[in-house]
Structure 1
Amino acid sequence: MPELPVILVVEDEEPLQDIVHDALKDGGFDLVTTASGEEALTLFKSGVVKYAALVTDINLAGGMTGWDLARELREADSSFPIVYMTGAAGDQWAAQGVPNSILLQKPFAPAQLVTAISQLLNAGSSSI
């Protein structure tokens, strides 16, 4: 049986972590969740897990924002799929977001998250 794609999720609000967890599990993904951009970057760079995509809130606890984290990950992998989630920073996406990313405005339906990740993963696999 093939392994499920592992999504790196960065969200510092527990109720939202639960919603994202359930949506991704139901959508056929595995995931690792953390509350800070710094911890997510450490996990990504460790190479222990090969992550398929990043789902990140914009405003995070600590010094790193979701914008910062996405840029760091894109330096390591220029086509790494990124989905941003935000309730307040959507107007900054054009200036702050990385190319070929998707922004979901909170609140969003769980199916929208699964669709966004699937779109990015399918787009990446067709260009190989």
Structure 2
Amino acid sequence: MGQALCERSILVVEDDRAVRDLAAAILEETELRVVEAESGEEALHHLKQHAEEVVLVFTDIRIPCFLDGVDLARAVSSRWPWIKVVVTSGAPGDRVDHLPPAATFLPKPWRALDVLVAAEQAAEARNGLPA
């Protein structure tokens, strides 16, 4: 059963370096490893190789390249439904209306406690799933 305890992680997807660093610093307070990505494409690349380790994707809506945070949330929800997705933005516009039902929206500026609670809930939910 030791194999089931692979290193669990949180994927932070944010193009603003200062915000990404802040989210990563907050999330490093959990027992989970923090992995950072600057775009939806970079995040998907990581997930294709390490989805079994990821318990939470914490993403901004407005990220560069072709996939925004909503597109990323939809891809994660359909391909890896066990991964919790929290999408954040200070100005989501109507994109927030297109989030998949399982995703959670957290408006900016978010509080550190809200981010930690989301991470803990994701970790607890993942603990209940078979390895």
Q: Report the counterpart of residue 54 of structure 2 in structure 1.
A: 51
Mapped contact 1:90–1:103 kept (Cα < 8 A): no
Structure-1 separation of matches of 2:119 and 2:33:
12
Quick one: distance in 1 between partners of 2:126 and 2:52?
19
In the TM superposition, what whole-angstrom CA distance separates every residue of 1:44-76 from its partner, at most 9, and x where no partner exists?
Answer: 012386211110000001111001011111221
Question: How far apart in 1 are the matches of 2:127 and 2:54?
Answer: 14
1:87 aligns with 2:90: yes
The question of 1:102 aligning with 2:73 is answered no
Superposition map of 1:20-59 within 5 A:
20-47=23-50, 50-59=53-62
SS of 2:110 mapped into structure 1: coil
Query: Alpha-carbon deviations, 1:67-92, whole Å to 9, x = none?
Result: 10111112212232001111111654
Residue pair 1:19, 1:110 contacting (<8 A) in 2 also: no
Amino acid in structure 1 at the alignment position of 2:98: Q
Tell me the TM-score normalized by structure 2. Answer: 0.83
Which residue of 117, 121, 124 corresponds with 1:122? 124
Question: Identity, % of aligned pairs?
Answer: 29
Q: How many residues align?
A: 127
TM-aligned CA deviation for residue 108 of structure 1: 1.2
Picking from 56, 73, 78, the partner of 1:75 is 78
Aligned to 1:10: 13
Partners of 1:48 and 1:100 lie apart in 2 by 17
CA contact (8 A) 1:73 1:80 kept: yes
* Structure 1 residue 14: Cα displacement: 0.7
Judge conservation of contact 1:67–1:97 (CA < 8 Å) in 2. yes
Look up the equivalent residue of 1:98 and give its one-letter code. P
Give me the TM-score of the superposition, normalised by structure 1. 0.85
Gap regions ≥5 residues in structure 1: none
For structure 2, the 5+ residue unaligned runs are none
